[in-house]
């Protein structure tokens, strides 16, 4: 068995700290036909074998109440995706991380599996999907060394995710670019008009039936 094969499975990280300005309300906790929007990403990561799956940033009380998952506070709220990754890496030291934005309404476990496999069974420390020749940062996979390096870049003052990945590559860690199995699976939503047809365009409190749909997370305590 190689050292890669001996690695523990990845942890899943759902980034929930964005301001959701264009949506006009918190995207992470907004109601969908499948429960809170962040729960779609959380379930996809869980289906891809991530354990635990944690939520990072945003309204911790609302997220823990709505989704029933472990929550990690952003060490520097408002610092963007790299700040959320750094916060997760600090709490999940030594783990590979599969990181997802909270606003991917069609993300599935099968969308995540290729990048999970890339960092688990090859020399890759970062796996990112490309679409139309451009990296898509809505989902990415980080090996343990890359997660540590990203946290170090953040601590050194870096705030841009793409530049942190470039720093990782410059340090000699392997970054691979993959084709997404389903491009629509990694598409995010920024505005109400981006929501899929049939989704409720209303704040959570106006649709209590959907609010009560829990996101299952057996054995994962809030913390």
Per residue in 88-146, pLDDT (tens digit) is 999 999 999 999 999 999 999 999 999 999 999 889 999 999 999 999 999 999 999 99
Q: What is the CATH number of the domain that holds 109?
A: 3.90.550.10
What domain range is 86 assigned to? 7-188
Is 31 part of any domain? yes
SS3 content of the chain, % helix, strand, coil (to 5): 40, 20, 45
In a domain, 193, yes or no: no
Which residues have CB under 8 Å from 166's CB, separation 6+? Answer: none
Cα(80)–Cα(153) distance, integer angstroms: 13
Q: How far out from the chain centre does Cα 99 lie?
A: 3
Helix-helix angle 60-67:37-47, to 10 degrees = 60
Identify whether 219 is part of a domain.
no
1-27 pLDDT, tens digit per residue, is 344 544 568 999 999 986 555 555 678
Q: How many residues does the chain have?
A: 223
Domain-embedded: residue 145:
yes
Residue 200's pLDDT is what?
A: 55
- Residue 204 lies inside a defined structural domain of this protein: no
- Give the chain's count of helices (H) and strands (E): 8, 7
32 within some domain:
yes
**Residue in this structure with the two tokens 């649709």, named with its chain if needed:** 207
Number of domains in the chain: 1
Specify if 179 maps to a domain. Answer: yes
> Is the residue at 208 inside a domain?
no
């Amino acid at each position: 068995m190689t050292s890669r094969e001996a690695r523990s499975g990845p942890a899943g990280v759902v980034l929930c700290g964005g301001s959701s300005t264009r949506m006009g309300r918190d995207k992470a906790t907004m109601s969908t036909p499948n429960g809170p929007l962040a729960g779609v990403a959380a379930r996809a990561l869980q289906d891809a074998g991530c354990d635990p799956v944690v939520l990072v940033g945003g309204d911790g009380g609302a997220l823990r109440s709505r989704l029933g998952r472990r929550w990690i506070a952003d060490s520097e709220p408002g610092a963007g995706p790299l700040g959320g990754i750094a916060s997760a890496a600090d709490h999940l030291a030594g783990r590979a991380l599969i990181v997802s934005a909270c606003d991917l309404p069609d993300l599935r476990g099968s969308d995540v599996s290729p990048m999970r496999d890339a960092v688990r069974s090859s020399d890759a420390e970062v796996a990112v999907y490309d679409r139309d020749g451009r990296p898509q940062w809505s989902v990415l996979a980080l090996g343990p060394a890359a997660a540590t390096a990203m946290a170090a870049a953040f601590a050194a003052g870096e705030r841009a995710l793409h530049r942190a990945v470039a720093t990782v590559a410059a340090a000699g860690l392997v970054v691979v670019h993959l084709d997404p199995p389903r491009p629509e699976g990694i598409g995010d939503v920024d505005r109400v008009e981006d929501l899929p047809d049939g989704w409720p365009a209303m704040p959570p409190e106006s649709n209590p039936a959907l609010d009560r749909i829990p996101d299952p997370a057996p054995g994962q305590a809030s913390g």
